[in-house]
Structure 1
Amino acid sequence: MSFLQVNAISHVYLTKTEAKEAISNLSFSIEEGEFVSLIGPSGCGKSTLLSIISGLLTPTEGKVIVEGKNSNQPGKSMGYMLQQDYLFPWKTIKENCLLGLKLTNRLTKDTIERTLKLLDQMGLYDVRHAYPDQLSGGMRQRVALVRTLATGPDLLLLDEPFSALDYQTKLKLEDLVFSTLKEHNKSALLVTHDIGEAIAMSDRVILLSPRPGKIARTFHIPAHLRELLPFDARNDPKFAEHFQVIWKELDSLEQSPT
């Protein structure tokens, strides 16, 4: 059985004057340790879908199954990393990273040691007593990743976590996140507008149609690219070929009348 199953999800937003369908009959699955990216035109329901999978939003129709169980509320097996780091400015880096464990009553000597080890792996151990405003944007995102991983989630939901960073920092963090998830055999679902990022980091790329979001096409990334770090994948001769194929499909969807 797949680690995550999204079964016939549809979602409608209701306003005073109309009903807007954001997602329509959307189904796919993710295997344990698999990295999948969602791309598509703006407004196609990518972030809405992440909110539904996390349990923060109840779909109008359909269901999400995680490890064989219905997911009707935010699960302990999920971690959510957003574009903004949302670190508490009055708490130290260490305190920010331990917050999730504290809120879920899992703050123990072992979990604290594991979190400090993650900080060390991310090159942040020396700034554990610093405050967020003393760190660069890239360092803050690394802290956000540690905070997300500290609770031991099996599935990471990544909503454009690198889009606010400068390009050099973004490339470095792509490699760091990719290698960290592979090392810990975590499954991940990334929402991004960056086709190159999707190809470089993913096993599969799912292209959604304009609103209401449906699966327009699924692209399977070749094994030799999947084995490379994202930076190296971007420099592979085959990378541009796959980029062009996906870009043309996306451009065609954006040009189509809705």
Structure 2
Amino acid sequence: MSFLQLNAISHVYLTKSAAKEAISNLSFAIEEGEFVSLLGPSGCGKSTLLSIISGLVKPTEGSVSLQNEIIKSPGERMGYMLQQDYLFPWKTIEENCFIGLKLLNKLTADKKEQTLELLDSMGLSDVRSAYPDQLSGGMRQRVALVRTLATDPDLLLLDEPFSALDYQTKLKLEDLVFKTLKKHRKTALLVTHDIGEAIAMSDRIILLSPRPGKIARTFQVPAPLKELLPFEARNDSAFRENFQLIWKELDSLEPSST
């Protein structure tokens, strides 16, 4: 059995006037240590799928299992990183990083030390006592990553965590996140609209069709690219070839493309 397994997931949103199917009979698996990206047109159910995997939303049909255990509700086994950092403005950076551990009653001396070491590895040792509004957007996202990793989740769910950043900061943070996840041997699922980001960071890319979301195609990132840091991968000839391939496939899924 795979590390993460989605079995025939379907989800329907009910409104006052209609029932709208967001995801239809979707199944795939992710192996331990793998980094997978979800790509697809707007409204194809990518973020909904993350909410289902995390246990925040119950699917209309189907199930999600993590290491053979059915996910029925949110739990400490998953870390969720969003576009916004959602740091508490009245707490220091250090206090923000400890929040998850505190909620789980795991704020031991050892865990504190490990979290502060992770904060230092992110280049944030000198802002431990600062407050979120004193930090740049990129620094705040680094703090959010530390907070997410502090509880040592089995699976990281990343919902467009770099989309609100300027391009230079985004590229730097891609490298930092990539190195950190590889170092800690984390399994991750990224939702993104950025084809380049998906190629540069992933082992595999799952392309979803327009609503209702189904798997249109799966792309394996070439082995040489997977060994490179995201910034380096973007400058490789294989990157450009794969970008064009995925772009054409994604463009063909857009009903109003010109």
Query: What letter corresponds to residue 67 of structure 1 in structure 2?
Result: Q
Structure 2 unaligned blocks of 5 or more: none
| Alignment map for 1:54-203 (pairs within 5 Å) | 54-203=54-203
* Per-residue CA distance 1:53-94 (angstroms, 9 max, x = gap): 000000000000001100001121110000000000000000
Q: CA deviation at 1:2?
A: 1.0
2:44 alignment counterpart: 44
Q: Deviation string for 1:116-165 (max 9, x for gaps)?
A: 00000000111000000000000000000000000001110000000000
Distance 1:154 1:52 in 2: 16
| Cα distance in 1 between the residues matched to 2:119 and 2:137 | 16
How many angstroms apart in 2 are the aligned matches of 1:181 and 1:5?
A: 20
SS in 2 for 1:157: strand
Deviation larger for 73-82 or 209-218: 73-82
Distance 2:110 2:39 in 1: 38
Q: Which amino acid aligns with 2:5?
A: Q
The amino acid that maps onto 2:42 is S
Instruction: Please provide the CA RMSD for this pair.
Output: 0.9
User: What amino acid is the match of 2:144?
Assistant: A
Q: Which residue of structure 1 aligns with residue 219 of structure 2?
A: 219
**Residue identity opposite 2:156 in structure 1:** L
- C-alpha separation between the residues in 2 aligned to 1:252 and 1:197? 20
Matched to 1:106, the amino acid is: K
TM-score by length of 1: 0.98
Moved over 4 A (4+): none
Percent identity between matched residues is: 81
Which residue in the other structure is 1:34 paired with? 34
SS in structure 2 of the partner of residue 140 of structure 1: helix
Structure 2 length-normalised TM: 0.98
Please give the secondary structure, in 2, of the residue aligned with 1:53.
Answer: helix
Distance in 1 (CA, whole Å) between partners of 2:46 and 2:230 is 22
Counterpart-to-counterpart distance in 2, 1:76 and 1:103: 10
Deviations 1:155-195 (A, max 9, x none): 10000000000000000000000010001110000000000
Structure 1 residue 256: deviation in Å? 6.7
- 1:53 matched residue in structure 2: 53
